[in-house]
A and B are shown apart, each in its own frame.
Chain A
Amino acid sequence: MSEHIQDTEDRDAAEAAPAPEIDPHAKSLLTLANAMFRYALWPSLATIAVGAVVFALINGAPGLWGALVGGLLAAASSLLTLLLMRKTAHLGPHIGMAASLGGFVGKLLVLMLVMTALRGVDALHAESLGITMVAVVLVAAAAEAVAFRRTKLPTIIPAAEK
C-alpha cells in the first residue's frame, strides 16, 4: 500500500515537473545572437550595394566585382562569428573562448589565403575590394554593438537561491 502511494507520488511529481527547459544563459545568448543578426543584416547588405554602385561608377566592372567580393567576404566573416556564438551558447565560457579564438585564427588564415589568391586577379579592383570590405565589417560591428546596447541580458538567479 505504502508502495502504491509512493508510486503515485512519484508519478504526480513527474507530471508536475515542468518540461526540461533550455539553459537560461544560453537563452539570453541566443536572444542576443538573433538581435545582432537582425540589426546587422540590412545595414551590411545596404553597404555592399552602395559600395558596388559607387565603385562600379568610379572603376567600372572591376570595381563592381571587387566591391561585391569584398562585401561578401566581410559579411561571411561576420556571419561566422554569429554562428560560433549560437553553437557555443549552451557551453561554458572556456569553450566560448576556444571557439572564438579558433574561429579568429581560422578566419584570418582563410581570408589571408583568399586575399593572396585574389591579388593577381585583374578582374577585381583591389582598392574597391578593400574599402568595401572594411566598410561592411565596420558597419556590421557597429550594428551588432547597437543590438547589444538594446538587448537586455538578465542576471540569472538559480532556482535554489530564490
Chain B
Amino acid sequence: MSSVLLAQEVATTAGINPGLAAIGYGLGAIGPGIGVGLIWAAVINGTARQPEAQGKLMGIAWTTFVLVEVLALIGLVVYFIASGG
C-alpha cells in the first residue's frame, strides 16, 4: 500500500517538476538583474562625479557584468536539466 502511495507521489512530483524548474529559472534571473542594475548605477554615479574616469569605470562595469551574468546562465541550465532535458 505504502509503495503504491510512494509511486503516486513520485509520479506527481515528476509532473510538477518542469513548472518548478521554470519558477526556479525566473527566480535565478532576478539576482543578476539587480546586480547588473547596481553595477551600472554605480558607473553612472562615478562618471557624473569624475568624467575622466569614464573609460576605467565602464571597463570595470563590463567585466563585472560578464561575471554576474554567469549566474543567470547557470540558472538557465539548471532549468533545462531539471525540466527533464
Contacts and interface: CB of A to CB of B under 8 A. Distances in A.
A134 B80 CA distance: 12
Interface string A24-46: 11111100110010000000000
A50 interface: no
Contacts of A129: 80, 85
A127 B65 contact: no
Question: Lowest 3 CB-CB distances: which A-B pairs, in order?
Answer: A126-B85, A97-B40, A25-B55
Interface string A92-103: 111011001100
Interface in A8-36: 24-29, 32-33, 36
A145 B67 contact: yes
A141 to B, nearest CB: 5
A93 B40 contact: yes
Given A101-B37, A129-B80, 14 more contacts: A24-B55, A36-B62, A81-B69, A96-B43, A96-B58, A100-B65, A104-B32, A104-B69, A115-B79, A118-B80, A119-B83, A144-B63, A153-B55, A155-B55
B84 A153 contact: no
A145 B22 CA distance: 30
Chain A residues touching B, range? 35 or more
Interface in B26-85: 29, 32-33, 36-37, 40-41, 43-44, 47, 51-63, 65-67, 69-70, 72-74, 76-81, 83-85
B73 to A, nearest CB: 5
Given A29-B62, A112-B76, A137 B54 contact: no
Given A94-B44, A101-B36, A115 B55 contact: no
Interface of B: 25, 29, 32-33, 36-37, 40-41, 43-44, 47, 51-63, 65-67, 69-70, 72-74, 76-81, 83-85
A89 B54 CA distance: 10
A119 B33 CA distance: 25
10 contacts: A93-B44, A100-B61, A104-B32, A108-B72, A112-B79, A116-B83, A130-B77, A130-B80, A134-B77, A137-B73
B57 A93 contact: yes
Contact of B81 (A25, A97, A127): A127
A29 B74 CA distance: 27
